[in-house]
Structure 1
Amino acid sequence: MTNPATDGGFAVVEMFTSQGCNSCLPAEELLSELERDARVRGQNVFALGFHVDYWDDLGWPDQFADPAYTARQEAYARAFGSEGLYTPQMVVNGTVEFVGSDRRRAAGAIMSAMSSTATAPLTLSMADGGGHRVLLDYRVEHPPAGAVVNVAIVERGLDSEIARGENAGRTLRQDNVVRAYASVGLDAERGQVQLVTPPDLDPRNAAVVGYVQENGNRAIVGATAIELSTA
């Protein structure tokens, strides 16, 4: 299945979070709500929960954390001129950041993002799959020089029982959790990217989100998504 390029406005909402962070819970609820509402309204809002690993030594090792996601947040911190990292942090279309539980800021940033159109529309299609890998074809119209294509598999409806740390005793239900991620340099309009999926991934509750990101200001200039079950 091929997913056509997104027409009109879009919002890529990246959340940097951790299962060990108590203040992340309302932010994750907000992220789930934003994604559900967008589905109902047919809006192009793409939600991604990147679980960072710097909370892992503070009482609870997050099973979804990856140092690559921490490195991604660090790259944003450099771009924004921030002095340090924090959770929960929400970043919309690569250029606006704020505390992830701030509903007002989230609504305003998404509304602003939806008012502009993609300058580098992206199309994704499944090239091959099997075992624990997903191979995708991509096509980008008017690719910016030095840009990258980011591709993530996100999974909804994940339940985790937390035994220690700030959320000890809770069962967390989390959506849009990034389970696999890759970023490739955009050298041509067409190309392929491969993702290695975890063995416990449920494709019925998973989607592939792709987005084109500029190198300098890290602006996201094109995005799309495809349900893994239909791909």
Structure 2
Amino acid sequence: MTIRLLLLSGLTLLTLACSVIFTNGLRAAPSGQPATAPAAGQFPGIAVLELFTSEGCSSCPPADQVLNDWVGKAAQQQSPVYPLAFHVDYWDRLGWKDRFSSAESTARQRAYAAAMNTRQLYTPQLVVNGSSEFVGSDAREASRQVATALSRPALVGVSIKPEKGKKSSIQVGYEVAGSIEGAVINVAVVERGLTSVVTRGENARRSLTHDTVRGFLTAPLDASKGRVEVSFPADMNPRNAKVIGYVQNGRTLAVLGATETPFPP
């Protein structure tokens, strides 16, 4: 079953349907040191894949697999593709509470709906570079969109340097090359290989595997260099985590550049 949230005249109408809709430039060096920024206009293309999903949605596991496949492809090919899964919370009242869900993830999806004028929320939804969206289980469309994104030069170069911090947060330094007027920077902590055994709801008796955002922060880019602190749950396994940084146009939400680096040991 698919959930759609229709956004009508500022009001949210919940409807149920029984169909399946419901770096760039710069990569941090292995040492975690920021990479040297290339000259303006020389930033290679990147693809940021944001999947909005839920453990309570029976249409979502195939989309989770599509995203997991891109995690493997990006690592194997060392390509600038950055997959992130955001678990929304509007499924939680329908039989199974997703332990990774959050109101913040739903708010982020709602912001995309407003920016793209789609007037609805649904799962599974895949957003590529903040500018196109489609049903997240469509592997062929995902491949097409990623190829298109990688073929277009990025507008800014990004480097990040996470530093070991507290038990449930890290400091992340960043540097951005290129125009940043009106831009924001996002820093996500993503944990790989998470597994949930679902006992109720549409996915009852299924074991689901995720690469999921465990910590996320958005901050205005007031300067080309800065530092932010990102919190994450105390039960996160740092050995299975990485840090992704990406810059967006603050108004249109188009992704301008991105990079990733391992979580600090």
Asked if 2 retains the 8 angstrom alpha-carbon contact of 1:143 and 1:188, the reply is no
SS of equivalent to 1:112: helix
Q: Residue 238 of structure 2 aligns with which residue?
A: 203
2:112 is equivalent to residue 81 of structure 1: no
1:86-134 CA distances to partner (integer Å, 9 max, x unpaired)? 0000000000100001112101110000012221111100244132110
Q: Residue 193 of structure 1 aligns with which residue?
A: 228
Q: Which amino acid aligns with 1:72?
A: R
Asked if 1 retains the 8 angstrom alpha-carbon contact of 2:197 and 2:208, the reply is yes
Which deviates the most, 202-211 or 136-145? 136-145
Q: Residue 119 of structure 1 aligns with which residue?
A: 155
Which consecutive segments of 4 or more residues in structure 1 shift more than 6 A? none
2:53 is equivalent to residue 53 of structure 1: no
Q: Which amino acid aligns with 2:90?
A: Y
SS of equivalent to 2:244: strand
The 2-side partners of 1:102 and 1:200 are apart by 32
The 2-side partners of 1:32 and 1:74 are apart by 24
The 2-side partners of 1:130 and 1:147 are apart by 28
Which deviates the most, 86-95 or 213-222? 213-222
Q: Which amino acid aligns with 2:117?
A: G
Q: Which amino acid aligns with 1:219?
A: A
Asked if 1 retains the 8 angstrom alpha-carbon contact of 2:49 and 2:129, the reply is yes
1:146-189 CA distances to partner (integer Å, 9 max, x unpaired)? 110001001111111111110011111112x0000000000000
Q: Residue 170 of structure 2 aligns with which residue?
A: 134
Normalization by structure 2: what TM-score?
Answer: 0.83
Aligned length: 229
Which deviates the most, 5-14 or 22-31? 5-14
Q: Residue 97 of structure 1 aligns with which residue?
A: 133
Q: Residue 165 of structure 1 aligns with which residue?
A: 201
| One of 68, 76, 95 as aligned partner of 2:104 | 68
Asked if 2 retains the 8 angstrom alpha-carbon contact of 1:3 and 1:226, the reply is no
2:37 is equivalent to residue 2 of structure 1: no
Q: Which amino acid aligns with 1:163?
A: T
Normalization by structure 1: what TM-score?
Answer: 0.95
Asked if 2 retains the 8 angstrom alpha-carbon contact of 1:143 and 1:186, the reply is no
The 1-side partners of 2:239 and 2:263 are apart by 7
Asked if 2 retains the 8 angstrom alpha-carbon contact of 1:3 and 1:225, the reply is no
Q: Which amino acid aligns with 2:226?
A: G
Q: Which amino acid aligns with 2:33?
A: T
The 1-side partners of 2:34 and 2:153 are apart by 17
Q: Residue 253 of structure 2 aligns with which residue?
A: 218
Q: Structure 1 residues 127 and 229 mapped into 2: Cα distance closer, same or farther (>3 Å)?
A: closer
- Aligned-residue Cα RMSD (Å) equals 1.3
Q: Which amino acid aligns with 1:160?
A: S
The 2-side partners of 1:90 and 1:221 are apart by 18
1:1-48 CA distances to partner (integer Å, 9 max, x unpaired)? 224269512100000000000100000001000110121111010000
Q: Name the larger-Rg structure.
A: 2
The 2-side partners of 1:32 and 1:64 are apart by 16
| One of 189, 192, 205 as aligned partner of 1:153 | 189
Which deviates the most, 136-145 or 4-13? 4-13
Q: Which amino acid aligns with 2:188?
A: A
Q: Higher strand fraction: Structure 1 or Structure 2?
A: 2
Aligned residues with identical type, % of pairs:
45
2:58 is equivalent to residue 22 of structure 1: yes
Gaps in structure 1 of 5+ consecutive residues = none
Asked if 1 retains the 8 angstrom alpha-carbon contact of 2:164 and 2:264, the reply is no
